[in-house]
Amino acid sequence: MSEHEVGEIAPRQETRSVPATIQAVARAAGVSKTTVSHVISGNRPVSTTTRRRVERVMDELGFRPNFFAQALTKNRSKTIALIAQDITNPFYPALARGLQGAAATEQHVVMLFDAGAGERLTHAFLEEAVQRRVDGVVLAVALVDGDLRQLTDAGIPVVAVGSGLSDVLTDWVSADDRQIAVDAVRYLTSRGHSRLATITGPPAAEPGAGRLEGFERALANAGRTPDPRLIVAGDWTRDGGARAMRQLLELPDRPSAVFCANDLMAIGAVDAARSAGLDVPRDVAVVGVDDIDASSLVSPALTTVRIPAQAIGRAAGELLLDRIAGRAGPAVRHVLVRHSLIQRDSA
């Protein structure tokens, strides 16, 4: 007969997994705690035989270094922050993947923040990044100088994506936004279009300002004066592109082609044109910028200027890692990535 009465539940023995400590690793490996610390940090030489024995014991015990403690003692967190304009735009996840690939080569992880959450939360995130001792920041968004100086005053390296920063000297990675627009306009004029419009990004900041300047320059080079009614500001979103396109289509002499400063707005412009009963590209041609995955999947497939987002992210990561490791000199560095026009069905 069981020692427990019928219906009685035997008490369950709780087992808790206790994280292994440096002391436990040192004891099992037959070395001092200092030696284990040197193996973890890599700051002091340890013989190959000893290092392998310690690493084997750490693996067997499931030991994981306390990275917060390491951040305090070494002033390094092995963390990079990426602040992106809008993570719902597929361009930025692709950029983040490139940055993550670069960061992983030196065992850094990437912490992503969406600046679309608003200025207050962005400022709070920057304060948190400083408190967490991030090793560096990649900015794929425009910030005010005060926020930038919060980072640089804390000794945190910054790399900008899209444009150089106003009064704060930092490394930066960009495409040639003016030439992108010039190439798009040349393509459209070569297809016989003479009445061209553009849906810009916010024109006061890059890359919107550069792409608008390139659009106007290309028209001037072709002997045409830009019509201000054919320049409509968008907000980088699909809905914003649709709203801007509806405004253009209400003109008595609507454009025959529209250059959009990014693909999401171009897809929205195509939506609006088709909703108005127009054929794209027969009635109105549309060209975008970025070559996000969706640009080849929509109907009609989008003609666009390809900017390699992953390459930009990787280049930004490599510049930042150089700064973190002290491998870069005092001069500001700029990496210019190549773009290419991808011809599909919308223009």
CATH superfamily of 77-175+310-337: Response regulator (3.40.50.2300)
Which pLDDT score, from 0 to 100, does residue 69 have? 54
At position 153, the amino acid (one-letter code) is D
At position 33, the amino acid (one-letter code) is K
Residue 203 burial (C-beta neighbours within 10 Å; 0-12, 13-18, 19+): middle
Q: How confident is the model at residue 190 (pLDDT cuts 50, 70, 90)?
A: very high
Residue 50 burial (C-beta neighbours within 10 Å; 0-12, 13-18, 19+): middle
Mean pLDDT for the chain overall: 87
Whole-number Cα distances in Å, 32 to 25, 29, 40, 55, 338: 9, 9, 13, 14, 53
pLDDT (tens digit per residue) in 292-307: 999 999 999 999 999 9
What CATH architecture applies to the domain 177-307?
3-Layer(aba) Sandwich (3.40)
Q: What φ, ψ does residue 48 adopt, rounded to 5°?
A: -60, -45
Residues 6 or more apart in contact with residue 58 via CB below 8 angstroms: 20, 25, 36, 39
Which pLDDT score, from 0 to 100, does residue 96 have? 96
Q: How confident is the model at residue 12 (pLDDT cuts 50, 70, 90)?
A: very low
Q: How far apart are CA 96 and CA 89, in angstroms?
A: 12
CB 180 within 8 A of CB 305: yes
Q: How far apart are CA 82 and CA 136, in angstroms?
A: 9
Structure tokens at 217: 């320059």
DSSP per position, 254-323: --SEEEESSHHHHHHHHHHHHHTT--TTTT-EEEEEE--GGGGTSSSPPEEEE--HHHHHHHHHHHHHHH
| Alpha carbons within 13 A on the beta-carbon side of 233 | 8
Chain-centre distance of CA 70, in angstroms? 27
Looking at per-residue confidence, does 24 or 167 come out higher? 24
Q: How far apart are CA 332 and CA 170, in angstroms?
A: 6
Which pLDDT score, from 0 to 100, does residue 5 have? 44
Q: Is the pLDDT reported for residue 70 higher than 70? A: no
SS3 174: strand
Q: How far apart are CA 345 and CA 262, in angstroms?
A: 17
Number of Cβ within 10 Å of residue 76's Cβ equals 16
Which pLDDT score, from 0 to 100, does residue 68 have? 53
SS3 233: strand
Give residue limits of the domains in the chain: 1-65, 77-175+310-337, 177-307
Same fold for the pair 1-65 and 177-307: no
Q: Is the pLDDT reported for residue 218 higher than 70? A: yes
Q: How far apart are CA 303 and CA 296, in angstroms?
A: 8
For the domain covering 1-65, report its CATH number: 1.10.260.40
At position 23, the amino acid (one-letter code) is Q
Q: How far apart are CA 234 and CA 98, in angstroms?
A: 27
Residue range 106-111: mean pLDDT, rounded: 91
Q: How far apart are CA 234 and CA 198, in angstroms?
A: 9
At position 211, the amino acid (one-letter code) is R
Q: How far apart are CA 155 and CA 149, in angstroms?
A: 9
Pairing of the two strands 109-114 and 136-140: unpaired
Give this prediction's pTM: 0.77
Which pLDDT score, from 0 to 100, does residue 148 have? 76
